[in-house]
Structure 1
Amino acid sequence: MLKHKAELIRFLGSDSWLMELLEAVESENLPDAWVCAGVIRRLVWDRQTGRHTTDRLDDVDVVCFDAFNVSKEWEKAAEQRLRLRLPQVPWSVKNQARMHHKNGLPPFRSTLDGVASFPETCTAVAIRLERGQLRLAAPYGVEALLNMTITPTPLYRHGAKNRIYQTRLQEKSWKSEWPEVRE
C-alpha cells in the first residue's frame, strides 16, 4: 500500500509505461505540460487493490498552458504528434489557458491553476518529467488519492459547481470498478 507522497513518486517512477508517456510528453516541448488525472488515479488505485486495468483507459490527459494559442486545432495537432510517438495511447491534450470556460471559472494563470480547478481531489494530481527528474503536483495533497477517497475540491463543494461534481460521480461510476472507493 502506498501511504506517502515520496512512496507515490517512487511507484510512479517505477512504472515503465508511465515513464514512456512522460518521456513522450517531455520530448514534445509543450508549454508547461503535465500528465494528470485519470491515468495517475487508475495506476494508484490499481496498485492499492491489486488490479491492472490500464488497458481500459479512456484517455491519457496531458495539460499544458499557452495563453497565445488557445485553439482546439493546436491541441489536436499536439495529440497527433504524441500519437506518432506512441500510437496505442489515447492522448487528450488540453490547454488550460482556455479550459476555464468549461465550468464557468475565471481564467487560469497556469497549468497547475487549471489542475487545482479539477472537481475531485483524487484527480487533481499531475506529474511531469523535467530534465530526467519526476515532479509531482497535488494542490490538495495526495491523501485522497492514496486512501481511495473521492471528495470535491473547494470550488465544487457547494451550489451549481457541486452539481457538476455529483454528475461526474454518477458518470464516472468509479465504485463499480473499485468497490473499495469511499465517497
Structure 2
Amino acid sequence: MTGEAALSRRFVSEALQNPHNAALLERLPFLGLPDVWLVAGCLFQTVWNLQTGLAPTANIKDYDVFYFDASDLSDDAEQAVQTRVTALFSDLPIAVEAKNQARVHLWYERWFGYPYAPLQSARNGIERFLVPCTCVGLQPGPEGSDKPPTLYAPYGLDELYAGLLRPNPACPHLPLFEAKAASYRERWPWLAIEAGGLPV
C-alpha cells in the first residue's frame, strides 16, 4: 500500500471514530439527495481531536452536508431539504447544515463580500474551502454494501496531519482565511498558519 493510500485509510478510520459522522454517513442515503457528501469540519476536526488526545467530538461546532441539485436553485427548495435533514438527525445532539452547492454563487458575495463563480458539482465545492488541508469529504458507500465511504481530498492529506493552514489559491479571500485559521488555532493551538507563505 502506498503512503497516500495508507493515509487515506487512516483518515476514513479516524473520521468514523466520531459516532456522529458514522451515523450521518449511514443515514444520508435515505435522503435521496444527488451528489451528497459529508464534508469539512466534522471530518478534519475529528482527526485533529484524536491527534490532540481529545474526544473525537470535542470542539466541533456543526456538521456540514453538501449536495448538488441544479434543477431547483431556490432558497425554498434548500430550506425544504434542511427541514428533512433536521428531522432525520433529530435524535443526535448536533447541528447538521445542508447546502446545495449549485446555488452557492447566488448568496456567497452577499454574505462574505467576494464574488464566487458557479460550482459544477459538490466536489467542486469541497475544492474551494479557504484552507487546502480542510478540503475533505466523505460519500456514503453504496447502499446495502460493506464498502467504506468514498474519500475526496483534492489536495491530499499530508498538510492536514501536519496541521499546516495556508490560503487556498482556489478561494483567495485572505481576510476570511485569517479569521478561519485563527478560529482553528484557538481550539487546536499546535496548528501552524502560513499566510502569504510566511509562518504566523
Distance 1:55 1:14, change over 3 A: closer
Change in Cα spacing, 1:150 to 1:84, as seen in structure 2 (3 Å) is same
**Counterpart in 2 of 1:95?**
100
**Identical aligned pairs, as a percentage?**
28
In the alignment, structure 1 residue 109 sits paired with structure 2 residue 120: yes
Write the mapping of 1:20-169 to structure 2, written as runs, cut at 5 A.
20-52=23-55, 54=57, 56-87=59-90, 88-101=93-106, 102=108, 103-131=114-142, 132=145, 133=147, 134-157=149-172, 161-169=173-181
Partner residue, 2:189:
179
Contact 1:46–1:53 (Cα < 8 Å) also in 2: yes
| Higher RCO (CA < 8 A, seq sep 6+) | 1
> For 1:148-171, what per-residue CA distance to the aligned partner results, in whole angstroms no more than 9, with x for missing partners?
2211222245xxx2233223334x
In structure 2, the CA distance between the partners of 1:114 and 1:176, relative to structure 1 (3 Å rule), is: same
* Distance in 2, Cα, partners of 1:5 & 1:25: 21
The structure with the larger Rg is 2
Change (3 A) 1:11 1:168: closer
User: Structure 1, residues 66-86: CA drift from partner, whole Å, max 9, x if none?
Assistant: 011122222222222122222
TM-score by length of structure 1 reads 0.86
User: C-alpha separation between the residues in 2 aligned to 1:180 and 1:14?
Assistant: 21
Of 54-63 and 112-121, more deviation after overlay is shown by 54-63
Aligned 8 A contact 2:15 2:44 in 1: no
Q: TM-score when scaled to structure 2? A: 0.79
Moved more, 126-135 or 74-83: 74-83
Contact 1:100–1:107 (8 Å) recurs in 2 = yes
CA contact (8 A) 2:39 2:136 kept: yes
Instruction: Say whether the 8 Å CA contact 1:62–1:94 is kept in structure 2.
Output: yes
The gaps in structure 2 that reach 5 residues or longer are 1-5, 109-113, 194-200
Distance 1:14 1:177 in 2: 19
RMSD: 1.9
Once the 2 structures are TM-superposed, how far is the Cα of residue 93 of structure 1 from its aligned partner?
0.6
Q: CA deviation at 1:55?
A: 5.4
Q: CA deviation at 1:13?
A: 3.8
